[in-house]
Structure 1
Amino acid sequence: MNRDNHTRVTEFLLLGLSDDPQTQLLLAILFLGMFLGTVLGSFLFIYLVLSDSQLHTPMYFFLCNLSLADFGMSTSIVPQALIHMLTKKNVITFMSCSAQLFFSLSFGATQCLVLAVMSYDRYLAVCDPMHYSLIMTGRVCGQLAVGCWVCSIVGSSVDVIVTLCLPYQGDNRIDHFFCEAPVLLTLASGDTHKAELAIFFMGVMILLTPVPLILVSYTFIIVTVVRIKTISGRVKAFSTCGSHLLVVILFYGTGIISYMTLKSSKMQMKQVAVFYSVINPMLNPIIYSLRNKDVMRAFRNAVKRR
């Protein structure tokens, strides 16, 4: 698409992950399988938690929020990518790109904050069980969840505004499979320094600020678990917290690479984006379900009721 250098861009061309038709078909099949796995896994997990009274605890409440964020992240990106792979029509309007950018950022930021809150929840459950039920009341859990969603929406709005308020003229080819802030900045015609600083600052607030909380929480958790005398008690504590820590490492690691290192190579950014936007949302329900006896028990009970 040839455009005059002085014509404002009204649509973008997503170049995707590959130019080869066979590779695109294979990627489409893989993306579709992982998307269906994300949708089924997330809603099955939420259904099990809602239908089993023994799972009505703060930990599973936050896991439901995480599942919703996983579903939202995947839904905001994968269907559009599938359409482009299968129809070979890679055009996305400026408004659609803006919406995709906003929703993917919002759901991704929510995942970050919910994971941080969950680390605090696990800290209280393991290190201060006597006061756990007094601190993590239903009202407090609701306030923490709402706070995660609101902060994510506000932070994402800032990133979207500073990114899309820049002038976009001439080249409209996005070397990516969805609209992402660091990639869009490379197409901007004006000075992107302030926008990069704003995105970096929001990345510090959303991505890096919770990290000390997580590290401190798990330091105390590990020390407490090591002091547990019974082997069964240690195994139970490590099983619950190990799943959460694995998800934290996978998501935070890839997110920091994308949004805290804006000068990463294009191929690296696309590979990392595939992991945290497509693969990770599919893995989360599996990690939390297969390693959790309570969830598996709830699943067996649900099957028996059928």
Structure 2
Amino acid sequence: MAKQIANADRRSAWARWSGILFVAPYLCLFVLMLLVPLVMGMRLSLARGDLFGIREFVGLENYVRLFQDPVFLRTVWNTLYFVLLTVPSLTIAGLLLALALNRETRWAAIMRGIFFASFVLSVTVVTLIWRLLLIPNGGLAAVVANSIGAEPISFLGDQDWAMPSIAITTIWWGIGLPMVLFLAALQQVPRDIYEAAALDNASRMRMLFSITLPAIRRTIALVLVIEIILQFQLFGQPQLMTGGGPNNSTRPIVLFIYETGWSQWQLGYASAAAQVLFALIALVAMVQYRISSKKERG
């Protein structure tokens, strides 16, 4: 009996250690690629340094400078404005596309492929396409404006139009990801529920709000969190389309970090801005997650 207990203890111990061994490669990569750079960045944000290393620790001086810097404060507003323009639009448009293309037909499959195709393009190709569309001299938007007798708008050179233009570019580019996630969720909803609702003469809108949306609420929350994280990291589109202009109206936080760290060599200052961005992403994502969790429990 004692021998059997000892063997059972050894087997349970091996089961625990074997589980750790299976996740060890991921844990090592997680620590080396995420935790270590995060700690190093926090340490650097408290110092004054350049590419040759830390020169002196200055405490919270970099953070004080940031919140007194009008350019940085403008980049925070630009980033939040861009997130407000893109995240709801991508979520709603992706859901509508998924609802429209959730059919087992050849045309639906072709359209799904077309809408997802833009997502695999590089940011360089996407911005080149949209710059050609939006330029005031000879672009498609200018041709349409001239055809109706209107004055062409310099979309990328006007402070009021530049950020919405980048947002439209991003929505066109990124619509494929939420569409695919919603399609995967919709295909998991049992068809029997819809058939039962149809027998009760339920309308399509009633099915949408009483069956479909409650069934995919977790995917909606997932899409929102993913898009918030992605859109807060806006960088390539304004860098290639406007360079942050006109008058800093399209300069996001990541572009500010890049220019401060790699053009001005103020790595401590840039690292402090990166920590602020990290805090903003974490805060907004957690708030959205808590709101979704409360709605689900309610």
TM-score, scaled relative to structure 1: 0.29
TM-score, scaled relative to structure 2: 0.30
